[in-house]
Amino acid sequence: MKQHLILASGSPRRKELLENVRVPFTVVISDVEEVVDPKLPPSEIVMSLAEQKAAAVADRFNESIVLGADTVVVYNGEILGKPANTEEAKRMLTKLSGNTHQVLTGVAILFQKEKILFYEQTDVTFWTISEEEIEDYIETEEPMDKAGSYGIQELGSLFVKEIKGDYFSVVGLPVARTVRELKKAGFSLK
């Protein structure tokens, strides 16, 4: 019997990444209230958040494979989430300017009372960006719904000097590893 895959995320980027590699799935947005222990390391936080999102959907669709994911930006040990306002976006981008930060994406695959949890970490180095460039970027409103206040796949790409790791993980889902793990869970692309 062919397994049905559900993406427990409203992220248009994750949806697009799966569509690009022709993975058949449906979207069911998780409405879970995210709760984490801030004392945990970022790697455990992203896996916990991914699992919470997937579990909230898996409870309703126990015959399906459910995929959850979460992405955080970390600079000097501090998690930079989505900015609450333009001032917060400006502070984050100023911190990242001329520096290297880490982007961690946690993935949870839940199926038949089993689970696969993993994360990918990618180092991203920014060029030094001017205050004017930061303000122009914030005016586009692109930073407002993105961890760390930038999207590497859009205008935020203009700040990226170098990346070491999985580019797609920075976008929101380490696609190649995710597909390999889905196959371990019995999911077939055909």
Please name each of the domains of the chain with its CATH number.
Answer: 2-183 (3.90.950.10)
Q: What's the pLDDT score for residue 1?
A: 44
Higher pLDDT, 170 or 33: 170
> Which amino acid, one-letter code, is at 19?
E
- Of 101, 100, 112, 119, the closest CA to residue 49 belongs to 119
Cβ atoms within 10 Å, residue 172 = 25
The yes-or-no verdict on residue 177 having pLDDT over 90 is yes
Q: State the pLDDT confidence band at 2, using cuts at 50, 70 and 90.
A: low
Q: Mark whether 70 is an active-site residue.
A: yes
Cα–Cα distances in angstroms (integers) from residue 137 to residues 83, 88, 93, 144, in the given order: 14, 13, 10, 10
Q: What's the pLDDT score for residue 20?
A: 95
Which listed residue (70, 123, 145, 166) is catalytic?
Answer: 70
pLDDT digits (tens, 9 = 90+) for 81-134: 899 999 999 999 999 999 999 999 999 999 988 999 999 999 999 999 999 999
Query: What is the enclosing helix (H) or strand (E) of 27?
Result: strand 26-27
Cα–Cα distances in angstroms (integers) from residue 93 to residues 10, 82, 90, 98, 119, in the given order: 25, 12, 5, 10, 24
Angle at 72 between CA 68 and CA 76, to 5 degrees: 155
Is the separation of the CB atoms in 129 and 170 below 8 Å?
no
H helices of the chain, in order, are 12-20, 42-58, 86-96, 131-139, 167-171, 175-184
Average pLDDT of the chain is 94
pLDDT digits (tens, 9 = 90+) for 144-168: 989 999 999 999 999 999 999 999 9
Q: Please state the pTM of the whole predicted model.
A: 0.93
